[in-house]
Amino acid sequence: MITREEDADTVRALEALGHGDASVRLRAALAVGTAADPRCVGTLIERCAVEPEFFVRDMLTWALTRLPAAVTVPRLVDELGSERAQARSQALHTLSKVGDRRAWPAITRELLTDADDAVARSAWRTAVVLVPEGGEGALAAVLATQLGRGGRETRLSLSRALVALGDETVPALRAAMADPAPGVREHARATERLLQDPDAGFGYAVEEAKRSVAVGTAGGE
């Protein structure tokens, strides 16, 4: 049971989530998470959509994971349809931390191919956590359509997601190695290299893939 005093403390903490000082917001998120009051779920999710500081957003996510999944998951799933990229990205990130597979149907192809790189990266990581057994191959096929996308951070994130799916990734990677775009072929080869040798650095795998694609092109691949 929450006493009046505890209730007042929680209200003050919720109000402090909008404070101009990030350290105050961080402490407020910690306090709300410690209280673990399901009535706070809406405010926490709303704040995730606009909070500018990463470390505060991370604390907001922690606060949400302290609440029952039955309360948080439906609200987070609703947030995936937001027009704000940060709202979608943070909701996905939080779902990955909650780890409730009932959210899997909400991880759509649209999210996995979202035009915003941050949203797409969050969707890839979340999909790998939530994908049901037997669905890895189909997920890998969708993720493979994003090979060659973005800069180093985005490509590394995609490679990690594909590698996490294990051998089910191989058919999709092999198909991508025949893609007419050199960038796609390079990314696919680098990802396969990481799948074969997880200890190989991504930079090394990329350089090796570039050499392989260059040789293949010169040889009339």
pLDDT of residue 1 exceeding 50: no
CB atoms within 10 A of CB 1: 3
Range of the domain at 169: 137-221
What single DSSP character describes residue 113?
T
Give the count of domains, the chain.
1
Predicted structure pTM score: 0.88
Confidence of residue 206 (pLDDT cuts 50, 70, 90): low
In a domain, 26, yes or no: no
In a domain, 78, yes or no: no
In a domain, 106, yes or no: no
In a domain, 189, yes or no: yes
In a domain, 117, yes or no: no
Please tell me the predicted confidence (pLDDT) of residue 211.
Answer: 61
Contact 87, 111 (CB under 8 A): no
In a domain, 188, yes or no: yes
In a domain, 127, yes or no: no
pLDDT of residue 217 exceeding 90: no
DSSP per position, 156-212: HHHHHHHHHTGGGGHHHHHHHTT-S-HHHHHHHHHHHHHHH-TTS-HHHHHHHHHHH
In a domain, 82, yes or no: no
Please tell me the predicted confidence (pLDDT) of residue 46.
Answer: 97
